[in-house]
Amino acid sequence: MTGVAIVTDSTSYLPAELVGAHGIRIVPLQVVIGGAAHDEGAEATSTTVAEALRTWTPVTTSRPSPGAFLEVYEKAAAEGCEGIVSVHLSADMSGTHESATLAARDSPVPTRVVDSRSLGMGLGFAVVSAAEAAAAGADIDEVARAAEKRAAASTAIFYVDTLEHLRRGGRIGAGAALLGSALAVKPLLHLVDGHIEPLEKVRTSARAIARLEELAVTHAGDANVDVAVAHLANLERATLLAGRLRERLARLGSLYVNEVGAVVGAHVGPGMLSVVVAPR
């Protein structure tokens, strides 16, 4: 292996075929369910987290250690890479970026750490752009810029059944969560510069999902876009939404439908539905 290796974390939720095609290396975050810690992925899935949340079993998450990142960086260097670009979820939501930055100081090859200011496929599409740039022979700075540019251009909008899980995880203020509960509204949220902000309030889940569709179409405009629809225990509605977007987006590239993993699932709760629109 030569050139620039691409590393990300497990909250990118990239389809397996993209991970394999681009040789992307993934460092898992941890999920603690009822006091027992597990790596996100094979050990802790969206299904196990959704069930724990339904029964109000305590669920928390934690970042990978710097040592976990350094191990991956050292392996990539041993396999012949000349540099590494490590792209991660927003530093405002997790210490993962900090752990990667600490590990980069001891990496045996030059390593650039990128804060995507996003998560899920907002992060995932940025990782793919970095991998494509690396495959085309770009240097480490160009690869990092490709990730930053794609992440900055992407829009992430999502619906949750309740704000309580986000409140418990410290991802949204108690006042906003209380207001949503008191008014019995269905909140739409979006990512703004790396953190979650309320976007709109609607009265029913059906209205919320219809607004997700309209907002995604508006953000896509006439651009050539890739789209990802993600959910937690809400496959039927995710599939329906993806079908509607496939019909309405004139310049749609790739469209992915997947279930979020355990880490994001722990904070959004069952029923979550999201759309990421990523112009190419």
Could you tell me where in the chain the CATH 3.30.1180.10 domains are found?
Answer: 155-279
163 vs 157: CA distance, rounded Å: 14
Instruction: Write out the two tokens for 17.
Output: 């075929």
What is the largest distance, in Å, between two alpha-carbon atoms of the chain? 57
Q: Which residue has the higher pLDDT, 208 or 88?
A: 88
CB-count burial class (<10 Å; 0-12, 13-18, 19+) for 280:
middle
Could you tell me where in the chain the CATH 3.40.50.10170 domains are found?
Answer: 4-29+64-152
Residue whose structure tokens are 């469209």: 255
Give the alpha-carbon dihedral of 163, 92, 146, 66, to 10 degrees.
-120
- Domain covering 155-279 in this structure, CATH number: 3.30.1180.10
Residue ranges with strand state E in 172-239: 186-192, 195-202, 225-231
What's the predicted TM-score (pTM) here? 0.90
State the pLDDT at residue 162.
64
Give the three-state DSSP class for 69: helix
Q: Quick one: pLDDT band at residue 176, thresholds 50, 70, 90?
A: very low
Residue pLDDT, tens place only, 27-57: 999 998 888 888 998 778 878 888 888 888 8
CATH topology of domain 4-29+64-152: Rossmann fold (3.40.50)
Please answer whether residues 166 and 267 qualify as being in contact, where contact means their C-beta atoms are separated by less than 8 angstroms: yes
The pLDDT of residue 165 is above 80: no
Q: Quick one: pLDDT band at residue 167, thresholds 50, 70, 90?
A: low
182 vs 163: CA distance, rounded Å: 11
State the pLDDT at residue 174.
42
> What pairs with residue 156 in β-bridges?
276
Which of 41-45, 162-166, 181-185 is modeled with the greatest confidence? Answer: 41-45
